[in-house]
Structure 1
Amino acid sequence: MSSSPIALSVLDLVPVRTGQTSAQAVAASLGLAIRADALGYRRYWFAEHHNMPAVASTTPPVLIAATAARTTRIRVGSGGVMLPNHSPLVVAEQFAALEALAPGRIDLGLGRAPGSDQVISQLLRMSGTTSDVERFPDNIRDIVSLVSAEGATVRFSSGGTYDVHATPAAEGSPEVWLLGSSDYSAQLAAASGLPYVFANHFSGEGLERALDLYRTGFQPSATLAAPRTFLTANAIAASTAEEAEARSLPNQRMMARLRTNRPLVAMESVEEAIAGASDFDGLAESIMASARAKWFVGTGADVASALSAFAARHGVEEVMISPIAGAYEGEPMDAATGRTQTLELIAAAQAA
């Protein structure tokens, strides 16, 4: 291993498996966050997805608050809040309150994707036109101003002004990150002088181009003098490579369902995934193989080494892993056994 190991962080979608309740899934993720804090992981971020049987991370601010209250060191944040779904002022107020709850430990990751289908998007946006996707760059700037100690100023066409603060007396502000998996997000982050995260765990396509656009186009801002970025990656570590591969099957099958428009279900157990292998056709199998090829799966030592090489190849010193290890049927519903094992084995290998 390198004498200067990379920083590791965690991305959590709060997976819900067959027979598991939302309460049990949340309890499992909170336990995982506590363990990540103890193991020295840098950040713990929650994604935003809606109306999916296998995903319970619908409200990042609520999960962040619960996690911040149960941890002491790790940074906690969103990966990310899908801004078109929300009023910028509401987002700013939520994260200003979180910063007051856990000063110096809150990250506000913002994304442009809806995080669900068109019906859910319309339901989320019933409050009005403040969440128009076309206003995304303006909304980003508004939030950065609103969460600052100085606040923002509304200027009226008549010449008057109106001061707005996300919280009355801020001592600090959450760290704002722009997330994405496209040229657009990379260029916007660069032009805005914001730190940027490429969502490599989602597809991995366009990674090199996005990083190049961000780094070459970066414009220094009041809060960031030089480009700052890290990458996400799906990872599974187990005591043997065979176990790790088995634990990857439920997520492989979920990806195939998503990409072939099959009905979505709760995350299968490893046993269910193995038993259902014959249900999928050649297209689904090809999608599974393509997804698996981009993941980091194996023993703790193998995964840690591969992540370090991945970080070096793309010039980053931090990788945020989405621990996607599936569960066996006999494992507790209120614990994340395979995901916890992933974090522990990678951290142990880095420390060795």
Structure 2
Amino acid sequence: MSDAPLALSILDLVPVRTGQTSAQAITASLGLADAADRLGYRRYWFAEHHNMPAVASTTPPVLVAAAAARTSRIRLGSGGVMLPNHSPLVVAEQFAALEAIAPGRIDLGIGRAPGSDPVITQLLRQSGTTSDVERFPDNIRDILALSSPDGASLRFTSGQEYAVHATPAATASPELWLLGSSDYSAQLAASMGLPYVFANHFSGDGLERSLSLYRSQFRPAAEGDVPRTFLTANVVVGDTDADADALALPQLRMMARLRGGRPLTALETVEQAQAAEASDALAAPLASWAAERWFIGTADAVTERLRAVASRWEVDEVMISPVAAAHEADPMDAAPARLRTLERLAAAA
């Protein structure tokens, strides 16, 4: 096994299992954030998804604030805020306030996707022209300016200037990361001199091209800026390969539902998934795909694969999405299998 350091971070969608309330799911995830802080992980980010029975991470700023109250070292952020759903000023205000709550520990990851189905997207985007996807680059620039200590200024046709600050008397800004899985996001991050995250956990296609475009076209926004990037990965660690496969099955079945346009449900337990798979084989077509793109196995095997991926693509860190499911006997307000994944990877890395 290589002795090269492996920098790890965490992406959390706050999964909701069968019979679990959102309060219990959030409690379980906050327990993981506390553990990640103790175990030495670099970042803990919450995703933004809407109207999904198996996902409780609808409001990253709220979850970040809750995690900030329980942690002392780890960086916290969004993975990401889906900017077309929100007013840039509101996003800037939320994350400027978070920076004041946890100085030097806040990341603002921004994405362009809706994070839901077309109906919910329309409900989220009733805010008017600020939700125009075509204004995405301008809205990012607005957030950068508004959340800086200097703030921004508006100039009226009369020539009068109006100062705008996301929060008064700011001394620092959250660090902004651009998220994506396409040429567009990679090139935009490069043109703005921003750090970039490739969303490998749901779209592994185009990784090489996106990273190449980002690095070759990078233009520093300030002196000393260099390209910074990492990628995400779905990870399940088990006692054995068979144990890991069982823990991954509920999430694979959820992925099959998404891809097949089937009705979504809360995340099955391991036992529920095994019983259902025996009759409907829902996840069977994804087995080889997951074996290649997900990281499922024992701690040493998964760590070695993650280290190899980080080395091959020369990324600064790998952000894992711990997708191990629950057993029927597991407590509703905890996530033992996800916690074991974090503990064992931290020990192996």
Q: What's the TM-score once normalised by structure 1's chain length?
A: 0.97
Pairwise CA distance, 1:296 = 0.5
- Tell me the equivalent position of 1:221: 221
Shift of 1:225: 1.2
- Cα distance 1:188–1:275, how it changes in 2: closer, same or farther (>3 A)? same
CA-to-aligned-CA distance 1:62-86 (integer Å, 9 cap, x gap): 0000001100100000000000000
Which residue pairs with 1:291 in the alignment?
290
DSSP-derived class of the 2:67 partner? helix
What is the one-letter code of the residue matched to 2:115? G
Paired amino acid for 2:275:
A
Tell me whether 1:344 sits opposite 2:343 in the alignment: yes
Q: Tell whether the 8 Å contact from 1:191 to 1:217 is kept in structure 2 after alignment.
A: yes
- Computed over aligned residues only, the root mean square deviation of the Cα atoms, in angstroms, reads 1.3
Cα distance change, pair 8–121 in 1 and its aligned pair in 2 (3 A): same
User: Where in structure 2 are the equivalents of 1:1-352 lying within 5 Å?
Assistant: 1-222=1-222, 225-280=225-280, 285-350=284-349
SS in 2 for 1:80: strand
Q: Secondary structure of 1:236's match?
A: strand
What SS does the corresponding residue of 2:297 show, helix, strand or coil? strand
Tell me: CA distance 1:189–1:330, structure 2 relative to 1, closer, same or farther (3 Å). Answer: same
CA distance in 2, matches of 1:112, 1:90: 16
- Counterpart of 1:213, as a letter, is L
Percent identity over paired residues = 70
Distance change >3 Å, CA 193–CA 325, structure 1 → 2: same
- For 1:240 and 1:291, locate their aligned partners in 2 and report how far apart those are by CA, in whole Å: 17
Give TM-score scaled by structure 2 length.
Answer: 0.97
Partners of 1:154 and 1:260 in 2: how far apart?
47
Distance 1:316 1:25 in 2: 31
The 1-side partners of 2:193 and 2:157 are apart by 28
Superposed displacement of residue 157, structure 1: 3.6
Is the 2:228–2:316 Cα contact (8 Å) retained in structure 1? no
Q: Distance in 2 between matches of 1:236 and 1:69?
A: 27
Give 3-state SS (helix, strand or coil) of 1:10's partner. Answer: strand
Residues 236, 324 of structure 1: 8 Å contact kept: yes
Whole-angstrom CA distance in 2 between matches of 1:207 and 1:165: 37
In structure 2, do the counterparts of structure 1 residues 157 and 2 end up closer, same or farther at CA, with 3 Å as the change threshold?
farther
Q: Are the counterparts in 1 of residues 9 and 42 from structure 2 also a CA contact under 8 Å?
A: yes
Distance of aligned partners of 1:260 and 1:223 in 2 relative to their CA distance in 1, 3 Å threshold: farther
Unpaired stretches in structure 1, ≥5 consecutive residues: none
The 1-side partners of 2:224 and 2:154 are apart by 24
State the SS of the aligned residue for 1:173.
Answer: coil
User: CA 1:280 to 1:67, structure 2 compared with 1: closer, same or farther past 3 Å?
Assistant: same
